[in-house]
Amino acid sequence: QGQLVESGGGLVQPGGSLRLSCVVSGFTLNRYVMNWYRQAPGKQRELVARLSPGYSTNYADFAAGRFRISGEENTLYLQMNSLKPEDTAVYYCNSPRTAGDLWGRGTQVTVSS
C-alpha cells in the first residue's frame, strides 16, 4: 500500500515558522488525496489541511492564511507560519484508502517561549 514518514517538527517560539515533511513510498503522491492532521494531548485528532489530485487545497479555519500544504515528487509539505501556542500538537501525514487509511507515526510541534 505504501508508507508515510514525517519529519521537521521541533520547538519554535510564538510567531515563528516550521516546515513539516512527509516522505511517501510505495505509491505516487499526486494520484491520491493527502492530509495533514494534528492531535494535542487530551484532544480529538483534527484535520489541518488537504491536498487533492490536481493540487486543489483545503484548510481548517485555524490554518487558513497561516499554513500552506504542497506536494513535490515524493514528499508532502506543510509550511506553518505565525505559529501560536495552540498549534502545539503531534502532526500526522495521512492518505485515505478504501482498504484502510495510511498514517505516518507523527512529528511533534511545540510552540512556546
Note the pLDDT tens digit of each residue in 57-87: 999 999 999 999 999 999 999 999 999 999 9
| Predicted confidence (pLDDT) at residue 111 exceeds the cutoff of 80 | yes
Q: How many whole angstroms from its chain centre is CA 28?
A: 17
The rounded distance, in Å, linking the Cα atoms of 102 and 86 is: 26
What's the pLDDT score for residue 36?
98
| Percent of the residues in the chain that have a pLDDT greater than 90, as a whole number | 96
The amino acid occupying position 44 is Q
Q: For residue 53, how many C-alpha atoms fall within 13 Å in the half-sphere facing its CB?
A: 7
Helix (H, G, I), strand (E, B) or coil at 86: helix
What's the pLDDT score for residue 1?
73
Q: Is 106 exposed, middle or buried (0-12, 13-18, 19+ CB in 10 A)?
A: middle
Q: Sign of the C-alpha dihedral, residues 91, 95, 33, 60? A: negative
Q: 88 — phi, psi (to 5°)?
A: -60, 125
